[in-house]
Amino acid sequence: MVSQQVLVKNFYRALLSASYVAGATAVGGPPAGAMAARSLATPLGVASIELAAQQATEFTIDSKAMSQGGLILEPTFALLGEDGPELVIPLKKKPRSRKQRANDKKKSRAWREANSALRNKNG
């Protein structure tokens, strides 16, 4: 578990640093990217990346893996598709507008196609 946390935290460190510099470069050009990279090398920059990476790691490690199925009764963050294809189906219908019902008919065709593809794949 510790090695998994280290791996995930290192991933987030790299992702956060790279996206910060890339975003600054996209907005302000190369000079802004250089300033962003320089600011990451300061103690405050290192601390902010560490804090963000730690929070992201805890969130990722604590998210639910749903490969064995399960019932979700409240809003949650979950890992889907980690063990192959999965379906997420709401159990409660909400009132739908005419446009939404028309879109549902299109989706039901996609649902049938996805279902038949899974049946063919799984035998």
Domain extent listing, the chain? 2-62
pLDDT at 35: 92
pLDDT at 25: 92
Q: How does residue 116 score in pLDDT terms, banded at 50, 70 and 90? A: confident
pLDDT tens profile 14-51: 888 898 899 999 999 999 999 999 998 898 888 888 88
pTM of the full structure: 0.46
Question: What tokens does 64 get?
Answer: 């639910």
Q: How far is CA 4 from the centre of its chain?
A: 17
pLDDT tens profile 75-90: 777 777 777 777 777 7
Q: Residue 79 in contact with residue 63, Cβ under 8 Å?
A: yes
The angle that helices 2-40 and 43-62 make with each other, rounded to 10 degrees, is: 150
pLDDT at 63: 66
Query: How many C-beta atoms surround the C-beta of residue 23 within 10 A?
Result: 13
pLDDT for 72 beyond 60: yes
